[in-house]
């Protein structure tokens, strides 16, 4: 059974005197333990889609089911990692993680224990008492990822988590995330506009068109795991990259 | 250390001004009821120290009660209006308008309605302290980072949780800027409230001294009002520094 099942999803927003259709009937699913990337041009409604999955807004048409239950039926249906680390500046690293765990229903002592354990497991315990502003962008995203990883929901939504990082840090973070994810294989919906990132991380890539967004292409990525940067030099990697690039280019031309 | 260095120049200028004042009064033999020398003011104040202390305590009590009550009410109303947007849309414009009412002018009205007891004076000080805190808090509560708000909603944080964990801590800076304004106004408003109807307090002391041409004691009263204001302001600033220790140090902050 799919952890996330989206069928015929439509959403429009009023803009000026008219209405702008952002999602034009999107179908998408994420299976148990599957890493799915959502690839699309900027402004293709990827964040809107995540907002609908998180239950922040209601779709105009279509259905979202998370673990079989309709979205919006309970708050916080998925673990979430946004583009900006979204760490509360007045809470320490550990305090931020504890808050997220408290919101997901853990008791105070449980949240503390899990946060301490998690920080230790990832070798980040020396940052436990630091405030977010003293951390680098990459380190803030590590904390943000750990926070999502420790949340109990089976589905993780990652919204361009490395979009604001420089190229080198970004590659480092991809490898780091890959190594962690391959340990316990949560179901992931990963939003990105980087083709290489999607290829490196995913089991399957779903390409969205510009708005109104529909799924224009789906691609299985069958590289064996665990994966490493060596993938970059494989001919198949280059082929898929060219294929996806062409798909995205044709979208831009049709706009 | 930087703050200590910043304190010395104004203190030096102040001492110099006092010296010129003292010298001028002695040189031209100015009548003490017109302009007493600083030394005379200190001597007279020392002689009247017991009366002065009593009046100071009364004013301090009125100020602190009014400050605490007014700022608490301002805080509570801001929170209420923030959590109930329907109420906010109706009340907030009136709140802004009401800032144009000269509160001091309400004094006599309050006395008519509430008599000569502590209540009308307390109410006046409370009103003065209420507005800056309420307005500043409303600004702070409504100004939280949308990215943080979206994150918290995505992971399932309810309204109350976002209020307590995001909006309240995010408005602490605003709260303190409101509190500092309230602190600066509160002593002055207490003194004016005492003029309207009271038998003790620095306000009354100043009024009586001036009627009796004891100008040196008027000065002494003014100095005490200034000192009380500074003290309250310093207490608020000190608390702020404790509350905001998480904040990144600003480069070259004065």
Summarize pLDDT for B50-67 with one digit per residue, the tens.
999 999 999 999 999 999
Residue stretches of chain B with pLDDT short of 50: 251-254
Say if B9 falls within a structural domain: no
Q: What is the CATH number of the domain that holds A52?
A: 3.40.50.300
Which residue in A has a C-alpha nearest to residue B157's C-alpha? A103
- Give phi and psi for B68, each to the nearest 5: -65, -50
The answer to whether the CB of A2 falls within 8 A of the CB of A12 is no
Out of B154, B166, B170, closest to residue A56 by CB: B154
How close A160 comes to chain B (CA, Å)? 13
Q: Supply the pLDDT for residue A47.
A: 87
A127 and A220, same domain (yes or no):
no
| Final residue of a structural domain among A152, A172, A202 | A152
> Does B148 sit within 8 Å of A76, measured CB to CB?
no
- Give the tens place of pLDDT for each residue, B8-65: 999 999 999 999 999 999 999 998 889 999 999 999 999 999 999 999 999 999 999 9
Closest CA to A205 of A40, A41, A69: A40
Phi/psi zone of residue A200: left (φ > 0), alpha (ψ -120 to 50 degrees), beta?
alpha
- A201 lies in the same domain as A162: yes
Q: Tell me: do A46 and A66 sit in the same domain.
A: yes
Give residue B169's domain range: 36-243
**Same domain assignment for residues A58 and A88:** no
Q: B158 contacts in A (CB within 8 Å)?
A: 75
Model pLDDT, residue B97: 87
Identify whether B94 is part of a domain: yes
Q: Are residues A234 and A164 in the same domain?
A: yes
Same domain, A163 and A68: yes
Shortest Cα distance from A52 to chain B (angstroms)? 10
For the record, the structure tokens of A160 come out as 């361009």
A179, A117: one domain: no
Ranges under pLDDT 50 in chain A: none
At B110 the pLDDT is 86
Number of domains in chain A: 2
A161 to chain B, any CB pair closer than 8 A? The answer is no
Q: In the prediction, which pLDDT does A16 show? A: 86
Q: Which residues of B touch A91 (CB under 8 A)?
A: 246
Euclidean distance between CA atoms A87 and A27, whole angstroms? 32
Enter the tokens of residue A254. 């049709």
Output the DSSP codes for B143-182: T--HHHHHHHHHTT--HHHHIIIIIHHHTHHHHHHHHHHH
Q: Is A103 on the interface with B (CB under 8 A)?
A: yes
A151 contact B CB<8A: yes
Looking at the structure of chain B, the number of domains it has is 1
∠ CA A29-A64-B155, rounded to 5°: 100
B166 — contact with chain A (CB < 8 Å)? yes
Query: Among residues A117, A134, A152, which one ends one of the domains?
Result: A152
Pairing of strands A155-159, A187-192: parallel
- The CATH code of the domain that includes B113 is 1.10.3720.10
Query: Which residues from B are below 8 Å from A58, CB to CB?
Result: none
What's the domain range around A138?
84-152
Same domain flag for A188 and A146:
no
ipTM of the complex: 0.93
Answer yes or no: do A116 and A210 share one domain.
no
Q: How far is A88 from chain B (nearest CA, A)?
A: 7
Distance from CA of B5 to the nearest CA of A (A): 29
Question: Where among A112, A131, A152 does a domain terminate?
Answer: A152
Kind of pairing between the strands at A204-208 and A61-66: unpaired
| Distance of alpha carbon B116 from alpha carbon B197, whole angstroms | 6
A106 and A160 together in one domain = no
B190: three-class secondary structure by DSSP: helix
Residues A159 and A247 placed together within one structural domain of the fold = yes
- For residues A130 and A178, membership in a common domain is answered with no
Question: Cβ of A76 under 8 Å from any chain B Cβ?
Answer: yes
Please indicate, yes or no, if residue B248 is contained in any of the structural domains: no
């Amino acid at each position: 059974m799919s952890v996330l099942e989206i069928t015929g999803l439509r959403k429009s927003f009023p803009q000026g005197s008219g209405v702008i259709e952002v999602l034009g009937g999107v179908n998408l699913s994420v299976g148990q333990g599957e890493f799915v990337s959502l690839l699309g041009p900027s402004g293709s409604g990827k964040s809107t889609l995540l907002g609908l999955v998180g239950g922040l807004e209601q779709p105009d048409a279509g259905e979202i089911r998370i673990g079989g239950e309709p979205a919006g039926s309970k708050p916080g249906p998925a673990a979430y990692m946004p583009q900006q680390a979204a760490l509360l500046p007045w809470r320490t690293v550990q305090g931020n993680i504890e808050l997220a765990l408290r919101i997901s229903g853990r008791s105070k002592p449980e949240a503390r224990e899990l946060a301490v354990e998690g920080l230790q497991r990832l070798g980040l315990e020396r940052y436990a008492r630091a405030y977010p502003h003293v951390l680098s962008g990459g380190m803030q995203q590590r904390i943000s990822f750990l926070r999502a990883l420790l949340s109990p929901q089976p589905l993780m939504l990652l919204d361009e988590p490395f979009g604001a990082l420089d190229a080198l840090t970004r590659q480092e973070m991809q490898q780091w995330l890959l190594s962690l994810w391959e340990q316990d294989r949560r179901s992931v919906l990963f939003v990105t506009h980087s083709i290489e990132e999607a290829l490196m991380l995913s089991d399957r890539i779903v390409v969205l068109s510009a708005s109104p967004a529909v799924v224009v292409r789906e691609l299985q990525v069958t590289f064996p795991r665990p994966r490493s940067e060596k993938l970059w030099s494989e001919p198949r990697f280059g082929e898929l990259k060219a294929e996806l690039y062409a798909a995205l280019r044709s979208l831009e031309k049709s706009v | 250390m930087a703050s200590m260095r910043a304190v010395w120049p104004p203190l030096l200028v102040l001492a110099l001004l006092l010296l010129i004042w003292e010298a001028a009064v002695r040189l031209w033999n100015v009548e003490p009821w017109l302009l007493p020398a600083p030394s005379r003011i200190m001597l007279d104040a020392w002689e009247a120290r017991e009366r002065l202390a009593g009046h100071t305590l009364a004013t301090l009590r009125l100020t602190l009660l009014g400050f605490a009550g007014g700022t608490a009410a301002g805080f509570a109303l801001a929170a209420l209006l923030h959590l109930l947007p329907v109420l906010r849309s109706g009340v907030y414009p009136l709140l802004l308008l009401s800032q144009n009412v000269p509160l001091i002018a309400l004094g006599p009205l309050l006395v008519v309605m509430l008599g000569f007891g502590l209540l009308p004076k307390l109410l006046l000080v409370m009103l003065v302290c209420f507005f800056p805190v309420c307005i500043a808090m409303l600004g702070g509560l409504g100004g939280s980072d949308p990215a943080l708000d979206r994150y918290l909603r995505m992971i399932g944080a309810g309204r109350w949780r976002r209020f307590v964990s995001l909006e309240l801590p995010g408005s602490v800076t605003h709260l303190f800027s409101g509190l500092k304004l309230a602190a600066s106004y509160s002593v002055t408003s207490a003194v004016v409230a005492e003029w309207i109807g009271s038998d003790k307090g620095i306000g009354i002391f100043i009024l009586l001294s001036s009627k009796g041409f004891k100008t040196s004691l008027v000065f002494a009263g003014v100095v005490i009002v200034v000192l009380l204001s500074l003290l309250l302001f310093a207490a608020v600033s000190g608390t702020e520094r404790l509350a905001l220790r998480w904040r990144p140090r600003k480069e070259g902050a004065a």
